[in-house]
Amino acid sequence: MRDVPENRYVTVTLHGGRPQAVSAAAGFVAGMTAHGITCLIKGEHLAALGPVGNVEALGPDNVGLSELAVVFGGDGSILRAAEWAMPLDIPVLGVNLGHIGFLAELESYEAGALISHVVERAYSVEERMTIDVTVTDADGGELWRSFAVNEVSIEKLARERMIEVLVRVDARALSRWGTDGVLVSTPTGSTAYAFSANGPVLWPDIDALLLVPLAAHALFSRPLVIGPHSTVSIEVLPSDESRAVVWCDGRRTTDIAGGMVVTAQVGAHRLRLARISQRPFVDRLVRKFALPVDGWRGVAERNRQHAD
């Protein structure tokens, strides 16, 4: 009896406003079609791609069929894909067409190698910690819930005023700050907003929460690395100017006021990132940030060797 071919599905998402992303995605879809793999694509991107091959509109009836989500864009596009892929445990593979692209596996010039890796399932999957976020009122009633792959930030709304917050760890008061805000980051997010706020870089295989105050007016306002079993809560203290806003990954947001509490703890779901190489994180760090690893002595020595 002849074997019936396996039906395979890969979801493709892209930054529709970038012609380079549209072109790269169209080439990938054509390659998938040539190997009998169906691509699932959001409706708003189908028109941008045009008649490129075997595609279906991504919807609730087929979203769970995907073995992989391939994203053409920057870290923002990858975070958008994570919103639906993470609860379904679908791995996400990013092709960087943005700026730094820390979450991406490939740069745009490497996209040609992607088709064969997907066809042959020649990739590994690593898991990244996430944060579960809740906002409660003064009586403990839940007002809002979300998650974060990079970070949750509590930021002042009024430019001319600080907010006052009381930070607790495992229900024990840690410090009271007058500040522009506070963020709680994952190791993945330590190279994003937390890095810009002078937080340390954490290796992604570490399970820990990173607590970073934003321009706090206090003697003790250093970033803190907190264990994965702890819960961090930030209470916005009541005052005339205690309006603030909560952001998760800079995408999902809600306004908060004095007396409300933002709680962050290690998330129940993990983001699964597909990797086609075993490149160490230190190499990724050096490449993404263009870190200088050769001093002038090393350059001079190489020049001397070439002269010989």
Q: How many CB atoms lie within 10 A of CB 89?
A: 13
* Span 76-115, pLDDT tens digits: 999 999 999 999 999 999 998 867 778 888 887 777 789 9
Shared domain check, 88 and 207: no
**Gyration radius of the chain's alpha carbons:** 22
Quick check: 300 pLDDT over 70?
Answer: no
Report the pLDDT averaged over residues 106-128.
Answer: 89
pLDDT at 240: 64
pLDDT at 145: 97
DSSP 155-219: EES-TT--EEEEEEETTEEEEEEEESEEEEE-TGGGGTHHHHTTPPP--TT---EEEEEES--SS
Shared domain check, 148 and 100: no
For position 60, which CATH number holds? 3.40.50.10330
Instruction: List the catalytic residue out of 75, 137, 205, 283.
Output: 75
Structure-token pair, residue 6 = 């396996």
pLDDT at 298: 58
Shared domain check, 214 and 137: yes
Strand partners, 177: 165
Shared domain check, 216 and 161: yes
Q: Which of 10, 288, 289, 202 is nearest to 123 (CA)?
A: 10
pLDDT, averaged across the chain: 89
Q: Which of 113, 116, 114, 78 is nearest to 97 (CA)?
A: 78
Shared domain check, 149 and 108: no
Shared domain check, 78 and 14: yes
Report the pLDDT averaged over residues 193-197.
Answer: 95
Active site residue 75: yes
Shared domain check, 153 and 101: no
Shared domain check, 211 and 115: no
Does a structural domain hold residue 2? Answer: no
Shared domain check, 188 and 162: yes
Shared domain check, 257 and 136: yes
Does a structural domain hold residue 181? Answer: yes
pLDDT at 123: 94
| Residue 185 lies in domain | 131-266
- Cβ-count burial of 76 within 10 angstroms (0-12 exposed, 13-18 middle, 19+ buried)? middle
Number of separate domains in the chain = 2
pLDDT at 4: 39
Does a structural domain hold residue 282? Answer: no
pLDDT at 214: 96
For position 255, which CATH number holds? 2.60.200.30
Q: Give the separation between CA 204 and CA 190, rounded to whole angstroms.
A: 9
Shared domain check, 148 and 59: no
Shared domain check, 173 and 63: no
